């Protein structure tokens, strides 16, 4: 699961909306304030499904340890890791 601070997520959301390249069917641009409030309230999280959840903080992509994420994914796919991993 990719996570980031509410501020980083809202900035990315606003930047995507500002490009004008999104399909007109995306009407969520009019709910930007509501989206920010929902982020700050912590309303978004992983689906309640069985299995491993790998949490990757993408607030600053320069600090993401992509090798560790890939290693964890490979372990999960091969059945060698059954625990929740936070990276």
Q: What angle do CA 49, 14, 23 make, to 5 degrees?
A: 75
Question: What's the token pair of residue 71?
Answer: 């290693």
Contacting residues for 51 by C-beta, under 8 A, at least 6 apart: none
Please give the average per-residue pLDDT across 65-71, as a whole number: 92
Q: How confident is the model at residue 87 (pLDDT cuts 50, 70, 90)?
A: very low
- Domain coordinates of the chain in residue numbers? 2-40, 54-86
Is the model's pTM score more than 0.75?
Answer: no
SS3 85: strand
- What is the pLDDT of the chain when averaged over all its residues? 82
Please give the average per-residue pLDDT across 59-82, as a whole number: 86
């Amino acid at each position: 699961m990719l996570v980031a601070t509410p501020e980083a997520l809202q900035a990315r959301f606003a930047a995507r909306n500002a490009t004008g390249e999104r399909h007109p069917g995306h009407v969520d641009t009019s709910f930007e304030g509501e989206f920010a409030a929902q982020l700050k309230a912590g309303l978004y999280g992983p689906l309640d499904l069985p299995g491993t959840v790998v949490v990757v903080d993408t607030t600053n992509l320069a600090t993401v340890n992509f090798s560790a994420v890939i290693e964890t994914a490979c372990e999960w796919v091969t059945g060698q890791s059954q625990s929740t991993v936070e990276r």
